Amino acid sequence: MAYFDYLPHLVLFTIGTLIGLEISYKWHSEPFVKKKIEPVPLILALIGGGLMIFYAPLGLLFIGFVIGMRPGYGIYESVIGILFALILWVTL
């Protein structure tokens, strides 16, 4: 069944986005966007970017956590994590 090959990828990405949204609402109660890079989401995005090359479903869980954060948060971290995955993919 070729239809279910990417099911773990989709499920783990969805779980990651839901967890990221829930946790980011607990971390940030203010309604405005701070334009700074936070260390915890940045580390998770880098871990997710690295894992995307070796085991994609788990990497998507970490990337989904950062992408799914509250609107306005996690944008820079997501871009850095995806760029890290692309650079790692090209070098390997």
Domain map (residue ranges) of the chain: 14-25+36-91
Residues 49-72: b if buried by 16+ CB within 10 A, e if exposed: bbbbeeebbbbbbbbbbbbbbbee
Predicted confidence band of residue 2 (pLDDT cuts 50, 70, 90)? confident
Angle formed at CA 17 by CA 79 and CA 86, multiple of 5 degrees: 30
Residue 45 has which token pair? 């995005």
Of the candidates 6, 18, 17, the one whose C-alpha atom is nearest the C-alpha of residue 56 is: 6
Q: How many whole angstroms separate alpha carbon 65 and alpha carbon 74?
A: 9
Percent pLDDT > 70 in the chain is 95
Predicted confidence band of residue 50 (pLDDT cuts 50, 70, 90)? very high
Which range of 1-5, 10-14, 24-28, 35-39 scores highest in mean pLDDT? It is: 10-14
At residue 33, the pLDDT reads 67
